[in-house]
Chains A and B, each alone.
Chain A
Amino acid sequence: MAALPRRIIKETQRLMQEPVPGISAVPDDSNARYFHVIVTGPEDSPFEGGLFKLELFLPEDYPMSAPKVRFITKIYHPNIDRLGRICLDILKDKWSPALQIRTVLLSIQALLSAPNPDDPLANDVAELWKVNESEAIRNAKEWTRRYAMDN
């Protein structure tokens, strides 16, 4: 494998030295471009109290291309599908090399606080979120309690 770009090293060091509250990201031993991530569910959201595992991969031409990110823990959210794929503009056409691992993960955490059922990825979830928000929120809380807890 080609040498790891300095920027990735610098980001990794900063993630360790000045961690973002509510977010941890740690590189894998066998591949420094692959990060194991935990995002805590934001306060006052249906995901509060949950610990969500994600995986993040920095492609070859990072930071010129966006990281690939996916939820590993099940989550009930209109912009995240059953496979854990995330609908977020900065991961696609709105990517900029001025964004970083930490800003990407913060944006994902913010998406948990602000679900957007008008731009759905999980259609059934988004539909319920629109027609019966309180039931959708109940489901999200239930999934968080059932799947995203720590020992």
Chain B
Amino acid sequence: MEMSLKTNERVQEELEALEAILMDDISISYNERGCPELIKTTIFPSTANEVDKQYVCVTLEVKLPEEYPDCEPLVQLRNPRGLDDSTINHLYKSIKDKCAENVGQPVIFELIDLIRENLTESNLPTCQCAVCLYGFSEGDSFTKTQCFHYFHSYCLANHLSITKRHFQEEQDKLPAWQKSTKGFQATCPVCREMIECDIDELKTAHPPKELESAQKFEVTNDLRLLQERMRQLFSYQKSKGGIIDIEAEENKLLLITQSSEETASSESTEDPGPSLSNLNDPVLENGVLKKSQRCDVKMNSSDR
């Protein structure tokens, strides 16, 4: 009993010190018995308080077992921004070492310091641009959103000009009383938070470098095998009547009756292959082709 009280006091002291240093930037939750359970804080690189120069961040979550500090706390890194998996794994390893070294003493502030040092050293996004899926090379112009997501300025400009155009097209279709009064609002492609940016300025950026040097795609053996497997499955399901016959279904919808013989003769047992391929948006309705556009199906049937 006395031991646990003492432990508790040591923890209490550590937490008070943390609150004094970090103030609103730390949150501590307590369990029903009033013991501290979970400590959370978001850590940024040290950039002399220049928030626009912080390109990475991560939230540290520390769970305190009852025996802490005489055992290691449970540490989780959440919501990493601008950090790839290898950077995070490296951080976890350093955290583990630090905790093991410090059993018996308060370690939370040490952890915060360690993470902040690491972030400061790698204060450039190591993740990929979510739009083109390529990384950030030196000289690439990139944009950090307010929600800490990263894009090549070129890619973000592309996304924003297209969503803005779509928004405008939708607005133009609406009667005056239904039109939005707010105008176009840009959102982050990753988390959909509202973002503020100057599309015209982003548009002046050059395409990312890695993108230009990317390797070409080749058809591999694995790919051939998979294609073959797809063909087999298609034929098998076709023989069981399991393949949707668009033409027949559409005719049903139109309430036109067709003899089953006719339907059967227009079917092909071949995988139809690209039926969506030659088509542009206007002829697609919710992703399905209008009858007149499905030339390949027609071709197959006339082949027979």
Is B214 close to A, CB under 8 A?
yes
Contact B246 A10 (CB under 8 A): no
- Rounded to whole Å, the gap between the CB of B35 and the closest CB of chain A is 38
Is B250 close to A, CB under 8 A?
yes
Q: How many A residues are at the interface, by size bracket? A: 35 or more
> Complex Cα distance A43/B72, Å?
38
Is A132 close to B, CB under 8 A?
no
Q: How many B residues are at the interface, by size bracket? A: 35 or more
Is B158 close to A, CB under 8 A?
yes
- Residues of B close to A33: CB separation below 8 A: 277
Which residue of B has the minimal Cβ distance to A71?
B244
- Residues of A close to B250: CB separation below 8 A: 83
Supposing A26-B227, A96-B189 touch, asked if A72 and B234 sit within 8 A by C-beta, the answer is: yes
- Residues of B close to A10: CB separation below 8 A: 133-134, 214
Contact A6 B211 (CB under 8 A): yes
Write the B128-139 contact mask toward A (1 if CB under 8 angstroms, else 0).
001111100000
- Residues of A close to B229: CB separation below 8 A: 24, 38
Contact B271 A73 (CB under 8 A): no
- Residues of A close to B215: CB separation below 8 A: 9
Which residue of B has the minimal Cβ distance to A26?
B226
- Rounded to whole Å, the gap between the CB of B160 and the closest CB of chain A is 10
Which residue of A has the minimal Cβ distance to B271?
A36
- Rounded to whole Å, the gap between the CB of A115 and the closest CB of chain B is 18
- Rounded to whole Å, the gap between the CB of B250 and the closest CB of chain A is 7
Supposing A26-B227, A150-B236 touch, asked if A34 and B134 sit within 8 A by C-beta, the answer is: no
- Residues of A close to B211: CB separation below 8 A: 6
- Rounded to whole Å, the gap between the CB of A19 and the closest CB of chain B is 9
Contact B287 A86 (CB under 8 A): yes
- Rounded to whole Å, the gap between the CB of A82 and the closest CB of chain B is 5
Is B262 close to A, CB under 8 A?
no
Our pick among A60, A65, A69, A73 for the contact of B237 (Cβ within 8 Å) is: A73
Contact A26 B230 (CB under 8 A): yes
Is A61 close to B, CB under 8 A?
yes
Is A28 close to B, CB under 8 A?
yes
Contact A72 B226 (CB under 8 A): no
Write the A64-93 contact mask toward B (1 if CB under 8 angstroms, else 0).
110011111110000000111110000110
Contact B227 A29 (CB under 8 A): yes
Our pick among A4, A31, A64, A96 for the contact of B190 (Cβ within 8 Å) is: A96
> Complex Cα distance A56/B240, Å?
23
3 tightest A-B CB contacts, nearest first:
A147-B242, A57-B276, A98-B130
Q: List 26 A-B contacts (CB under 8 A).
A: A7-B132, A9-B215, A10-B133, A12-B217, A24-B229, A34-B276, A38-B229, A51-B233, A53-B230, A53-B237, A55-B274, A55-B276, A57-B274, A65-B281, A69-B287, A72-B243, A73-B237, A85-B286, A91-B287, A92-B286, A97-B159, A100-B133, A147-B237, A147-B241, A147-B243, A150-B233
Extra contacts besides A97-B131, A151-B232 (17): CB < 8 Å: A16-B223, A28-B227, A31-B277, A34-B276, A53-B233, A57-B277, A60-B280, A64-B158, A65-B281, A85-B287, A85-B288, A96-B190, A97-B159, A97-B189, A98-B131, A98-B189, A147-B241
